[in-house]
Structure 1
């Protein structure tokens, strides 16, 4: 057991949310119990995850995608009301870190993805640490990398060929980061991986000669939250469980 405020201080010191210009508040988003014993981590604070955390007896939910995004309606009605009602009713803390969890050099989504895909990390795409580039363990074809990504993530990966060249140097950024393709190309990579694809991404890949892989927003961001949850559990002797709510996007 640990006091919530002590846990939040440690998380904020580790993730340094003040370094980021983000689209949502990072840290404690909904206040629950003052003491933390059991954490459930997940990708998104959907109602399904909230209900699963209630059933699991958690007092804290730790996610990558929380609430209160810029541009969303400010009124507490409908879906937002029901999510908040269940959290407040059961006094569950909701803790969310968006860009800080993407960028963390050890626990972050990008580093965790690189570890699973077997990439050696050489640098970052943005100054704040969001996005990375490096090398695959061996030179591969576009089809081979597509199959490897699909097998590791358990989801069919979409591949837009960027020509015939083999792949050794790779860049990646989890989630909806297709807009970083040209920044990745500037690093001289052979391939770029993100979660989502837009219409213009196809043309950028073909014309820049960089193979592009859309591996799924949810699929590429399943690893940061549980890594951070385990960090909390080991550091403060807490119980932790990752609950993956399936999402094909």
Structure 2
């Protein structure tokens, strides 16, 4: 089966509601390809490696979290941008990208999917545009320490984590926001978190964690955002009768 480019765009927009968000770049169709679509490949970032993998899988459309165009970037089509665009255009592949809308979806988004894999249940939202999730263990329990929580996160995402602040105390109230959301740490503290999980840690957050007595756990930008794109693409593909494949291009950052 197949669908039109416009019907696929409408399905993504209906699910993710991009008009609700003030974002750092355009959400939706970023590069126009063939009009008829039978197979979607999803991934985290529209890198050359992912585009080449989608070509090899004969995809008609790419669905990603990190697209090609960002506010304030150099608009010239040279170097890596030319290479990626040339591949998409030469093979007539549509590129769909959704940034904050994909983080925020309450069931299929990056934060919801990361929380589900960690066994966390969100009971509230916090931070700018309500992107941060707040809650605790779905079984109602707590973690014996921030170290125990960090080890759990490490096992789930299968990569090393960084932990700072309050390592030995029990952890019940947990806030999380995937990717580069270290700037949400102070909002998480204000919301009453015992620990905050995100992808990256910057220099100031280590000091805040130590001084405020709230654990900060960084598990990798890519690792924390691997789950939303395949969840959304799989649901839309099933809805429209399309083939779907998730391709994870490893990234240690």
The TM-score, its normalising length taken from structure 1, stands at 0.98
Could you tell me which residue of structure 2 aligns to residue 92 of structure 1?
93
Could you tell me which residue of structure 1 aligns to residue 26 of structure 2?
25
Instruction: Give the Å deviation of 1:42.
Output: 0.2
Could you tell me which residue of structure 2 aligns to residue 73 of structure 1?
74
Does 2:237 align with 1:236? no
Question: 1:207 and 1:182 mapped to 2: Cα distance?
Answer: 12
Could you tell me which residue of structure 2 aligns to residue 139 of structure 1?
142
Instruction: Give the Å deviation of 1:71.
Output: 1.6
Could you tell me which residue of structure 2 aligns to residue 57 of structure 1?
58
What is the DSSP-based 3-state SS (H/G/I as helix, E as strand, rest coil) of the residue aligned with 1:50? helix
Aligned-residue RMSD, C-alpha: 1.0
Aligned residues: 249
Instruction: Give the Å deviation of 1:162.
Output: 2.4
Question: 2:19 and 2:89 mapped to 1: Cα distance?
Answer: 27
For residues 46-195 of structure 1, what are the structure 2 equivalents within 5 Å?
46-126=47-127, 128-136=129-137, 137=139, 138-140=141-143, 141-162=145-166, 164-195=168-199
- Listed one character per residue, the Cα deviations across residues 2-52 of structure 1 (whole Å, up to 9, x for unaligned) are 011011112111111111111110000000010110000000000000000
Could you tell me which residue of structure 2 aligns to residue 200 of structure 1?
204
CA contact (8 A) 1:163 1:206 kept: no
- Give runs of ≥4 in structure 1 deviating > 3 Å: none
Q: Where in structure 2 are there 5+ consecutive unaligned residues?
A: none
Instruction: Give the Å deviation of 1:142.
Output: 1.1
Instruction: Give the Å deviation of 1:120.
Output: 1.2
Question: 1:53 and 1:211 mapped to 2: Cα distance?
Answer: 39
Cα 1:75–1:219, aligned 2, differ >3 Å: closer, same or farther?
same
Instruction: Give the Å deviation of 1:163.
Output: 5.5
CA contact (8 A) 1:104 1:129 kept: no
Question: 2:60 and 2:103 mapped to 1: Cα distance?
Answer: 24
Question: 1:39 and 1:6 mapped to 2: Cα distance?
Answer: 13
Could you tell me which residue of structure 1 aligns to residue 44 of structure 2?
43
Instruction: Give the Å deviation of 1:128.
Output: 2.8
Q: Where in structure 1 are there 5+ consecutive unaligned residues?
A: none
What is the DSSP-based 3-state SS (H/G/I as helix, E as strand, rest coil) of the residue aligned with 1:233? helix
